[in-house]
């Protein structure tokens, strides 16, 4: 089922998510719904808080167009190692009509659980590394705009206010 994606400035996006204690049918259904929602949007990642669920669940698929899907579901993901630096343009399904370059690590190692409760380790670089960092930020109540300089963040907020005044979601 496709779920509604919350958009900035919804305060639910700023809340920290709780760890998943038991992986049950409810969590598996959430992950399926999140994947369906992400693909329909379309996007390359989605975190549970973006659909109003404050649990530590993310889905990511950075497979290029025309290639088979390569869905990653990570429960309670944690970055255990990071190195290097990237500065790439990011957008977000919860921050409409805005993109900006964000400084991130170029490579990360992420540990988490799969839908069967098995521990997984993902070694990621390039777009996958960025996607993991972006989605894990959502679990902490952070948006990519929180990584911008104060000036760029103020410009974004002004644009968002102006769009809200015209009735167009930011």
Q: Which residues are catalytic?
A: 135
* List of residues 6+ apart from 57 with CB closer than 8 A: 20, 27, 30, 31, 34, 47, 48, 73, 74, 75
Can you read off the two tokens belonging to residue 74? 């990570």
Give the CA distances from residue 37 to residues 44, 108, 123, in Å, rounded to whole numbers and listed in that order.
Answer: 11, 25, 25
Can you read off the two tokens belonging to residue 94? 């919860």
Q: How many residues does the chain have?
A: 170
Can you read off the two tokens belonging to residue 3? 């779920």
* List of residues 6+ apart from 88 with CB closer than 8 A: 101, 102, 104, 127, 130
């Amino acid at each position: 089922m496709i779920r509604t994606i919350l958009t900035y400035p919804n305060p639910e996006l700023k809340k920290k998510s709780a760890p998943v204690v038991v992986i049950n049918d409810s969590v598996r259904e959430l992950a399926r719904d999140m994947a369906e929602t992400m693909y329909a949007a379309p996007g390359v990642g989605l975190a549970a808080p973006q659909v109003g669920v404050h649990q530590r669940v993310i889905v990511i698929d950075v497979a290029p167009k025309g290639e088979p899907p390569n869905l990653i579901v990570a429960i309670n993901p944690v970055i255990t190692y990071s190195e290097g630096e990237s500065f790439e343009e990011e957008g977000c399904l919860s921050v409409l009509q805005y993109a900006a370059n964000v400084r991130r690590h170029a490579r990360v190692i992420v540990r988490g659980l799969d839908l069967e409760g098995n521990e997984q380790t993902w070694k990621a670089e390039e777009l996958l590394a960025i996607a993991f960092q972006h989605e894990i930020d959502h679990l902490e109540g952070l948006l990519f705009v929180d990584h911008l300089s104060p000036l760029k963040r103020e410009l974004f907020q002004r644009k968002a206010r102006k769009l809200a005044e015209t009735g167009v979601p930011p």
